[in-house]
Amino acid sequence: MAGQQAVEHKYVYDFSEGNKDQKDLLGGKGANLAEMTNLGLPVPPGFTITTEACKAYLSTGEEPAGLGDQISARLATLESAMGKRLGDPDDPLLVSVRSGAKFSMPGMMETVLNVGLNDRSVVGLSAQAGGNDRFAWDSYRRLIQMFGKTVCEVPGEEFEHALDDAKRVKGVTNDLDLDADDLRGLVDAYKSIFSKHTGREFPQEPREQLDLAIHAVFESWNADRAVLYRRQERIPADLGTAVNVVAMVFGNLGPDSGTGVAFTRDPASGAQGIYGDYLANAQGEDVVAGIRNTVPLQELEQLDKKSYDELLSIMARLEEHYKDLCDIEFTIERGKLWMLQTRVGKRTAAAAFVIAGQLVDEGLIDLDEALHRVNGAQLAQLMFPRFKLDHEFQPVAKGIGASPGAAVGKVVFTSARAVELAAEGESVILVRRETNPDDLNGMIAAQGILTSRGGKTSHAAVVARGMGKTCVSGADDLDIDIPGRKFVVGGQTVSEGDVVSIDGTTGKVFLGEVPVMPSEVVQYFEGSLDPAHIDNALVRAVHRIMTHADGKRRLRVRTNADTGADAARARRFGAEGIGLCRTEHMFLGDRKELVERLILARDGKERDDALAALLPLQRADFVEIFREMDGLPVTVRLIDPPLHEFLPPLEQLAVNVAVAQERGEDVAKEEALLSAVRRMHEQNPMLGLRGVRLGLVIPGLFAMQVRAIAEAAVECAKQGVRSCPEIMVPLVGAVQELETVRAEAEKIIAEVTREQPVDVLIGTMIEVPRAALTAGQIAEAAQFFSFGTNDLTQMGWGFSRDDVEGAFFWRYLELGIFGISPFESIDREGVGRLVRIATEEGRAARPGLKIGVCGEHGGDPESVHFFHEVGLDYVSCSPFRVPVARLEAGRAVVETGGSDSR
């Protein structure tokens, strides 16, 4: 009926219809091809099938209604733009079918090139290529190979063996030395392989080829390696991939053709310049796969100046347009340049900082944007040590510094062996000629990756950079024998298990273990490098961006530190106080003896004596810390762990007693300890006699600690040192617990500070779910809150924090129950909700209540953003993570548009 027809869903977009901001729908590649098309750059015509079509196909196993017709319509447009028809025996249009998800997943999904070739059109292609038979048959054999492997799951090695056989018969090693007849023969061999595995002939109908290739790309979204990569990179599993159908242009038409990849700046160091690899007379996949060694892009200037100049001007234009480092894939077909892809390029952590700084200098972005473009994980990576090199260590080979860092480990040659040895706790270096997506597991397990082929853009390089793994690629002096599990370099043989050291910044490879030294970024934080006076682009960029983050952030950053040395280091890293000083370490070492006396005390007198002996030691600890922090707040947590943790294990005591008895020695003390351990045994110690419960049950224990804190503050004050102690009570679940402890503490503080007044706050941890849910009541008795998100996660989920991560989290991650351990990054919906409730209700009861977090989450980038959103006053984390938290706290402000949710 006229006018009643449902509006058909649009699944196919011409390149002229999209733009770079449509990555959700068109995938990264499609959106950027559209953007380049609209910029008037030379992009071969084509169209994009949306991620929605992919999702529909994956959920039903069938093309959604209307997709086939929309493809036909776009194909007709493409054919008329090119003046060629798909399958035309005289002048065939060939297309590539390429995946393109929202987030780049290098090499993880499928591509099929040269779709449209068959037994007849191969002849037409040759004629159109000026009688270049070799080219036509090479294109056809590539189609059968890629189509067979990708669409029909024919084992790829079979094609590779057939190619090797053809080269052997001919007595050549380079595939360029195979002529048209050899390739024609190879096509026959490939077709037999195809039919042997699929039970059918290679499809001759171009539209069938196209449809099957599109389905295969859709399906490759769920290939094992893609699933693994997404998990590793935390890419959501339900996005689907778009499919780009693009008119083929050929880089393998002769010496005036070629293909390459380029970066507008060095993706490893961030240095300005032209970086890339070029391979004459080849198709694009040859470069990425590292099949043949490429030449530096600069050499293109000699080979084809016109294309080179055009490429440079396009690269400049793209950088200006995207305001960022771009990476590019291009092909030159007989002297004509075509842009096949661009995107904002992946880069190393160092390059991210350096480039952000440069772009600010160039006026392309402002400092807020620079801050947005770097992250805490990158900063953490820059804080890793580097090799300490002197003349003693000579490299045995030099490849390309593809992903920086210093990695030392035992050589392994297969992904499986890497996984095996890593599981045994060994550090391994995965050595391959080149990697491919099947090596992903081994790459994850390895400390570093070393390849003998491929450039900065090879699979190994791209994936390693994405993972933040050290990688040296293209070390072509290495003669690698994978089956023999060895490589030879400079006359020396290195076998599986031998140790090598690889430097991902310089590309150098060393035999044996090279010692490492701290990073410049750490040296800068430690104050031994002055950014104003050193010629180090990275340190200058870090300094500039950190300064901006500090100016922006609302959250304060404190540290978890239990000793003067930790406190001093954390201050150099920018800590603005101590958010958690765990006092339990003060009960260890030679003080264990005193703790044993306390536990074994038979009466009040013995207990008081033991506590009295501990008091001056604790006081001295606090004096040291207060001095280091010099007036900054120091949150001291009263003792938290169950006391039996300070005693030897039951089994050991039982053996000691038995042995001593056997020898006729005096066992009275051992026996007393043993019976104490038996008496104190708990089935669930994390839920037992610990935290505030200890303070309520063991007379004088908390009192001693409170006295030590107050006396230390008084001692400091007398010496002119300011201190700002905050006493924190752990594991509170009910306000009455806190009130009881607080009443006693206040009495002691009043007494100690009578003559030398000092302010001492008394607050509580919020780490038991009940405390979070009754925060309004607890706030009445607490001068501050600090979330103990380790325990809050443990008790919120009912996960024993010491057991579950090793025991079964892998399965939870595999099932997608969570994407990351909730002990690592805050579970926003559950545990995070408790944090929100407690913050709101605590502040409703006591306006302006100071609230922080001191669980591990305080240094986790994602969680810092959450704590900013919730409106906490500070996060507290280990000294090393303080710079990360500062950076992320600044980023959180920039990313929420400077808003403050409080």
Any alpha helices (H) in 1-66, and if so which ranges?
23-38, 51-60
Assess whether 854 carries a catalytic annotation: yes
- The residue length of the chain stands at 902
- By a kind-dependent CB cut-off of 5 to 8 A, residue 206 interacts, out of Mg ion, ligand PEP, none, with none
Could you tell which of ligand PEP, Mg ion, none binds residue 474, using a CB distance below 5 to 8 A set by kind?
A: none
For ligand PEP, the binding residue among 789, 825, 839, 863 (CB under 6 A) is 789
| Alpha-carbon radius of gyration of the chain | 33
Give, as one character, the DSSP assignment of residue 200.
S
* Cβ at position 561, least distance to ligand PEP in Å: 13
Which of residues 611 and 831 has its CB atom nearest to ligand PEP in the complex?
Answer: 831
- Taking the least distance from each CB to ligand PEP, the nearer of 113 and 854 is 854
Shortest distance in whole angstroms from residue 696 CB to Mg ion: 17
Give the span between the Cα atoms of 115 and 95, in whole angstroms: 5
Residues that bind Mg ion (CB under 5 A): 767, 788, 791
With CB under 6 A as the contact rule, the residue among 203, 788, 822, 832 that binds ligand PEP is: 788
Which of 339, 46, 80, 79 has its CA nearest to residue 214? 46
Between residues 552 and 582, which has the closer beta carbon with respect to ligand PEP?
582
Q: Which does 855 bind (CB under 5 to 8 A by kind): ligand PEP, Mg ion, none?
A: ligand PEP
CB 647 within 8 A of CB 599: yes
Select 203 or 858, whichever has its Cβ closest to ligand PEP: 858
Please give the C-alpha separations between residue 364 and each of 323, 357, 539, 894, in angstroms, as whole numbers. 6, 10, 21, 17
Q: Fill in the per-residue mask, 838 to 877: x = in contact with ligand PEP (CB under 6 A), - = not in contact.
A: ----------------xx----------------------
Least distance from C-beta 607 to ligand PEP, angstroms?
25
Residue 223 CA: distances (Å) to CA of 209, 226, 440: 20, 5, 13
Q: How far is the CB of 588 from Mg ion (least distance, A)?
A: 18
| Binding to ligand PEP in span 734-773, by CB under 6 A | 767
Which residues, 325 to 354, sit near ligand PEP by CB under 6 A? none
Do the beta carbons of residue 362 and residue 370 sit within 8 Å? no
When the beta carbons of 576 and 791 are compared against ligand PEP, the nearer one is: 791
Residue 409 Cβ, how far from Mg ion at the closest point, in Å?
35
In the complex, least distance from residue 810 CB atom to ligand PEP, rounded to whole angstroms:
23
Q: Which two tokens stand for residue 346?
A: 């992946």
Distance of CA 858 to the CA centre of its chain: 18
Spatial distance between the Cα atoms of 704 and 715, rounded to a whole number of angstroms: 16
Is there binding between residue 596 and ligand PEP (CB under 6 A)?
A: no
| Distance separating alpha carbons of residues 154 and 195, to the nearest angstrom | 9
Q: Which of residues 534-553 bind ligand PEP (CB under 6 A)?
A: none
Nearer to ligand PEP among residue 324 and residue 640 (C-beta): 640
Question: Exposed, middle or buried: residue 306 (CB in 10 Å: 0-12, 13-18, 19+)?
Answer: exposed
Q: Is 428 helix (H, G, I), strand (E, B) or coil?
A: strand
We find the least distance from the C-beta atom of residue 800 to ligand PEP, in angstroms, to be 13
Can you spell out the DSSP letters for 797-818? Answer: HT--TTTHHHHTHHHHHHTTS-
User: By C-alpha distance, which of 45, 19, 44, 38 is closest to 30?
Assistant: 19
Stretch that binds ligand PEP, among 141-149, 277-285, 353-361, 787-795 (CB under 6 A): 787-795
Please say which residue, 133 or 640, places its beta carbon nearer to ligand PEP.
Answer: 640
- Residues in 552-591 that interact with ligand PEP by CB under 6 A: 580, 582
Considering beta carbons, is residue 771 or 894 the nearer one to Mg ion?
771
Smallest distance from ligand PEP to CB 404, Å:
33
Would you give the end-to-end CA distance of the chain in angstroms?
57
CB nearer ligand PEP, residue 365 or residue 643? 643
Q: Which does 582 bind (CB under 5 to 8 A by kind): ligand PEP, Mg ion, none?
A: ligand PEP
**Which of 715, 744, 741, 712 has its CA nearest to residue 728?**
741
Beta bridge partners of 852: 786, 874
Q: Select the binding partner of residue 133 from ligand PEP, Mg ion, none (C-beta < 5 to 8 A, by kind).
A: none
Q: Which of 54, 326, 854, 877 is catalytic?
A: 854
Q: Is 429 helix (H, G, I), strand (E, B) or coil?
A: strand
- Identify which of residues 284 and 642 has a Cβ nearer to ligand PEP in the complex: 642
Q: How far is the CB of 175 from ligand PEP (least distance, A)?
A: 60
Q: In the structure encoding, which two tokens stand for residue 240, read together?
A: 């689907």
3-state secondary structure of 558: strand
**Which residues lie below 8 Å from residue 806, measured CB to CB, with a gap of 6+?**
none
User: Binding segment for ligand PEP among 71-79, 283-291, 419-427, 786-794 (CB under 6 A)?
Assistant: 786-794
* Near ligand PEP by CB under 6 A: residue from 133, 520, 791, 860: 791
Q: Which of 310/791 has CB closer to Mg ion?
A: 791
Nearest-approach distance from CB 266 to ligand PEP, in angstroms: 42
Partner touching 854 among Mg ion, ligand PEP, none, CB below 5 to 8 Å by kind: ligand PEP
Segment interacting with ligand PEP, rule: CB under 6 A, options 49-57, 436-444, 785-793, 865-873: 785-793
Size of the site for ligand PEP (CB under 6 A): 10
Q: Are 399 and 475 in contact (CB under 8 A)?
A: yes
In whole angstroms, the minimum distance from the beta carbon of 413 to ligand PEP comes to 42
**Catalytically annotated residue among 54, 215, 326, 459:** 459
Q: Which of residues 629-688 bind ligand PEP (CB under 6 A)?
A: 640
* Contact status, residue 56 vs residue 64, Cβ threshold 8 Å: yes
In angstroms, the Cα distances linking 146 to 71, 87, 158, 213, 261 are 22, 18, 12, 10, 21
Measured distance CA(285)–CA(279) in Å, rounded: 11
| Burial (Cβ within 10 Å: 0-12, 13-18, ≥19) of residue 273 | exposed
The interface partner of residue 245, options being ligand PEP, Mg ion, none and the CB cut-off 5 to 8 Å by kind, is none
In sequence order, the 6+-apart residues with CB closer than 8 A to the CB of 804 are none
Amino acid at 237: A
Q: Which does 783 bind (CB under 5 to 8 A by kind): Mg ion, ligand PEP, none?
A: none
In the residue annotation, 54 being an active-site residue is answered as no
Could you tell which of ligand PEP, Mg ion, none binds residue 35, using a CB distance below 5 to 8 A set by kind? Answer: none
Rounded Cα–Cα distance for residues 342 and 6 (Å): 37
Give the list of residues 6+ apart from residue 580 with CB closer than 8 angstroms, or none: 558, 560, 561, 635, 637, 728, 786, 854, 876
- Residue from 476, 319, 313 nearest 398 by CA: 476
Binding site for ligand PEP (CB under 6 A): 580, 582, 640, 767, 788-791, 854-855
Which residues are designated catalytic?
A: 459, 854
